[in-house]
Amino acid sequence: MKNILTSYDPGTGERIGEVKISTPDQIRKKVTLAHGAAPAWRNLGLNGRLALLEKAWAGAEPHIPELAELISREMGKDIQRSSGEASGSVHGGSYIAKEAWDALQSKSVGGRTTIEYKPLGVAAVISPWNYPLAMANNLIVPALMAGNPVVFKPSEETPLVADLFVEILNRVLPQHVLQVVHGTAEQGRALVEDRVNLIAFTGSQAVGKEIMARAASQVKRLVMELGGNDPMIVLSDADIGSAAGFAVASAFENAGQMCTSTERIYVDEQIADQFEAQVTAIASRYKTGPWNMQGVNIGPIVNKKQHAMIIHHIRDAETKGARVLLGGSDQTAPYIQPTVIADMTPDMTMEQDETFGPVVAIGKFKTVDEAVERANDSPYGLGAVVFGQKQAQAVAEQLEAGMIGINQGVGGGGNAPWVGAKQSGFGFHGSPDGHRQFAQVRVISS
CB neighbours of 196 closer than 8 A, spacing ≥ 6? 31, 121, 122, 123, 124, 151, 220
- 265 contacts 252 by C-beta, under 8 angstroms: no
Catalytic residue among 85, 156, 157, 259: 259
pLDDT given for residue 2 in this prediction: 75
Question: How many other CB atoms are found less than 10 A from the CB of residue 47?
Answer: 9
CATH 3.40.605.10 placement within the chain: 4-226+421-445
The residue length of the chain stands at 446
Identify which of 157, 170, 160 has the alpha carbon closest to the alpha carbon of residue 30: 170
36-57 average pLDDT score: 98
pLDDT given for residue 37 in this prediction: 98
pLDDT per position as a tens digit, 65-90: 999 999 999 999 999 999 999 999 99
Burial degree of 8 (CB within 10 A; 0-12, 13-18, 19+): middle
- Amino acid 367 reads T
The phi-psi region of residue 63 (left if phi > 0; otherwise alpha if psi is between -120 and 50; otherwise beta) is alpha
Q: Percent of the chain scored above 90 by pLDDT?
A: 98
Fold of 4-226+421-445: Aldehyde Dehydrogenase; Chain A, domain 1 (3.40.605)
Give the C-alpha separation, 205 to 354, whole Å.
10
pLDDT per position as a tens digit, 124-141: 999 999 999 999 999 999
Give the C-alpha separation, 28 to 13, whole Å.
33
pLDDT per position as a tens digit, 234-269: 999 999 999 999 999 999 999 999 999 999 999 999
Identify which of 445, 442, 336 has the alpha carbon closest to the alpha carbon of residue 120: 442
225 belongs to the catalytic site: yes
29-42 average pLDDT score: 98
Give the C-alpha separation, 84 to 94, whole Å.
16
Q: Collapse the DSSP code of 62 into the 3-class scheme (helix H, G, I; strand E, B; otherwise coil) and give the result.
A: helix
Average per-residue pLDDT in the chain? 97
- 79 contacts 68 by C-beta, under 8 angstroms: yes
Give the C-alpha separation, 175 to 190, whole Å.
22
- 240 contacts 274 by C-beta, under 8 angstroms: yes
Give the C-alpha separation, 122 to 292, whole Å.
39
Give the C-alpha separation, 195 to 28, whole Å.
8
Catalytic residue among 85, 156, 225, 276: 225
pLDDT per position as a tens digit, 162-216: 999 999 999 999 999 999 999 999 999 999 999 999 999 999 999 999 999 999 9
Fold of 230-406: Aldehyde Dehydrogenase; Chain A, domain 2 (3.40.309)
Instruction: Give the chain's radius of gyration (CA, Å).
Output: 22
Q: Percent of the chain scored above 70 by pLDDT?
A: 100
How much of the chain is in helix, strand and coil states, percent to nearest 5?
Answer: 45, 20, 35
pLDDT given for residue 415 in this prediction: 84
pLDDT given for residue 413 in this prediction: 72
- The torsion of the CA quartet 133, 119, 151, 158, rounded to 10 degrees, works out to -10
Angle 198-46-131 from CA coordinates, rounded to 5°: 50
pLDDT given for residue 234 in this prediction: 99
Q: Collapse the DSSP code of 18 into the 3-class scheme (helix H, G, I; strand E, B; otherwise coil) and give the result.
A: strand
pLDDT given for residue 240 in this prediction: 98
94-119 average pLDDT score: 95
Element (H, E) at 226: none
- 180 contacts 166 by C-beta, under 8 angstroms: yes
Q: Is the pLDDT of residue 112 over 60?
A: yes
pLDDT per position as a tens digit, 401-442: 999 999 999 987 778 999 999 999 999 999 999 999 999 999
- Amino acid 293 reads M
* pTM > 0.95: yes or no: yes
pLDDT given for residue 412 in this prediction: 74
Angle 378-382-387 from CA coordinates, rounded to 5°: 90
pLDDT given for residue 250 in this prediction: 98
Q: Is the pLDDT of residue 1 over 80?
A: no
Q: Collapse the DSSP code of 51 into the 3-class scheme (helix H, G, I; strand E, B; otherwise coil) and give the result.
A: helix
User: Which residues on neighbouring strands pair with residue 222, listed in sequence order?
Assistant: 199
Q: Is the pLDDT of residue 110 over 90?
A: no
CATH 3.40.309.10 placement within the chain: 230-406
pLDDT per position as a tens digit, 282-327: 999 999 999 999 999 999 999 999 999 999 999 999 999 999 999 9
Give the C-alpha separation, 407 to 317, whole Å.
28
What secondary structure letter does DSSP report for 2? -
